[in-house]
A = this chain, B = another copy of it.
C-alpha cells in the first residue's frame, strides 16, 4: 500500500473539561490513533466562549472561531465535534450546518440527540454525513455501539440503566452513611460531584434524555422525551433506604425502556432493585446498563458515565470510527424506517410497589389501610407495622403483588384521605431485571 490516506481534520466546539480531554487524547496518542484509524487525526480549528482562559492546553496551533457555527464552513475541517451542550441554540445550529454540508458531526450532547435525534439522523443520511453520539449516554461505556452494532442481531426486550453518576453517588452515600438527601447533596456540591443547580441530575431529566436515546436505539424509534415520564430522587428518605435493605433491595435511579405486548414503556424513577442484581452492585459515580435481548440473553455494561477522561474516550471512539470509514445509520436503522411505537402511559404501568405510611398507632388503622388497598384492587405481598416514627406515629410498610400503577395511585389517594395517615405516603416501584422478548 503506497497511498497515504489523508488526515481527518477536526473542528472542536466547546473547550470545557471534555474538550480539554479530547485535545489531550488527540495530541498525546497521535501515533497510536493513526495506527488504529488508518490515517492521522488532527485538530484544525476550535471554538469556545472565550479564547483567553487558561485550559492547560496550547491552542495556538489551531484556528479560532468566535462563532462555533463557522467551524462547519472551514475548508480544512472534515468533521465537527460539538461539546457545547444544550438541546437547541448553537449546538443545534452547528449540527445542522455541519451535516447540511455533508461533513461528519460528533457530539456528547444528550439533550440535543434526545430532542432532535431523528431529524438530525435524517439530515445526516440525506447528505451521506456520519453522525455519532457515543458520549451522550453513559460516558466512557460503549453502550450505544453495543446496541447499534454489537447486539444488532437481537430483538431487545428491555433495558435498565443507572445513567446519572451524581444521583448514584448521592444514593450510595445516603445508604452507606445513613445521611439525608439534602446533606449529601450539599456535600456533593462542595466536592464537585453535583452542579450548583443540580435540577437536571437529581430530578431525573438527564437520565430521561439518555433513556430516550437508548430506547430509540434499542427499539428502532425516534428519541421521544415526551414519552419518558420522569421522577427524581429528592423524595428518597433514609428510612426507605433502610427498609429497602431489609426487604432485600437497594434504591437506584433507573432509566427504563421495555417493550411489552401493549407497547413501549420508557420511564425514569427511583426503584428498588434486588441486592443480588447487577445494578445493585453499581456504587458511587459509576454508570451501568443492563440489556435483555433475544437470543443473546442479558448483557451488562459498566463504567464511568461522566468526567473528562470517560467522556473524551467516547468522543474519540466516534472520531476514530469516522476516520476508519465506519458508517451506518446513526440510530441503527435508517431514519425513514424509524417506527412510532404505542407508548404505554404512566398509569398503565404494571409492576410491584413499595409503600410507606406514617400512621396513628391505634386500633383500626391497619384495617383502614388494607380496606383501601382492596378497594383499589391492589393485592398485598407483605405488610409490616414498625416501631415509632421519628416525628410521631408508627410506620406501616408494605409491598404489593403485580399491580397497575393507576390502582396504586387510587390507593394512595384513599390513604391521603384517612385521618389516621399523618403524612402523604411514600411510594417506590420495585423492579426485577429486564426481560428478553417472549
Contacts and interface: CB of A to CB of B under 8 A. Distances in A.
Contact of A153 (B29, B145, B149, B334): B29
A295 B27 CA distance: 13
Contact of A304 (B25, B288, B296): B296
Given A295-B308, A297-B303, A150 B155 contact: no
Interface stretch (A261-269, A316-324, A377-385): A316-324
A153 B32 CA distance: 9
A281 B297 CA distance: 18
A39 to B, nearest CB: 11
A296 to B, nearest CB: 4
A295 B25 contact: yes
Interface string A141-170: 110011001111111000000000000000
A134 interface: yes
Interface in A224-277: none
B154 A150 contact: no
Contacts of A324: 327-328
B140 A299 contact: yes
A158 to B, nearest CB: 15
A175 to B, nearest CB: 15
Contacts of A278: 281, 302
A310 interface: yes
A368 to B, nearest CB: 43
A310 B297 contact: yes
A332 interface: yes
Nearest to A125: B1
A309 B297 contact: yes
A37 B298 CA distance: 23
Contacts of A316: 152-154
Contacts of A25: 153, 295
A298 B286 CA distance: 10
A351 interface: no
A313 interface: yes
A5 B36 CA distance: 29
A297 B301 contact: no
Interface in A20-51: 21, 24-25, 29, 32-33, 35-38
A341 interface: no
Interface residues of A, number: 61
A326 interface: yes
B295 A303 contact: no
A345 interface: no
A37 B220 CA distance: 13
A303 B313 CA distance: 23
B303 A300 contact: yes
A371 interface: no
A320 B149 contact: yes
Contacts of A153: 25, 29, 33, 312-317, 319-320
A295 B281 contact: no
A392 interface: no
A437 to B, nearest CB: 11
Contacts of A317: 149-153
Interface string A325-362: 11111001110010000000000000000000000000
A300 B297 contact: no
Given A141-B299, A278-B302, A281-B281, 20 more contacts: A29-B153, A36-B329, A142-B145, A142-B149, A145-B149, A146-B150, A150-B314, A153-B313, A153-B315, A154-B313, A154-B316, A293-B313, A296-B314, A297-B309, A297-B310, A299-B304, A302-B302, A325-B325, A325-B327, A326-B328
5 contacts: A25-B295, A150-B317, A153-B314, A295-B313, A300-B301
Interface of A: 21, 24-25, 29, 32-33, 35-38, 134, 140-142, 145-146, 149-155, 220, 278, 281, 288, 293-304, 308-310, 312-317, 319-321, 324-329, 332-334, 337
Question: What 4 A-B pairs come out closest when comparing CB atoms?
Answer: A153-B316, A142-B150, A295-B309, A299-B303
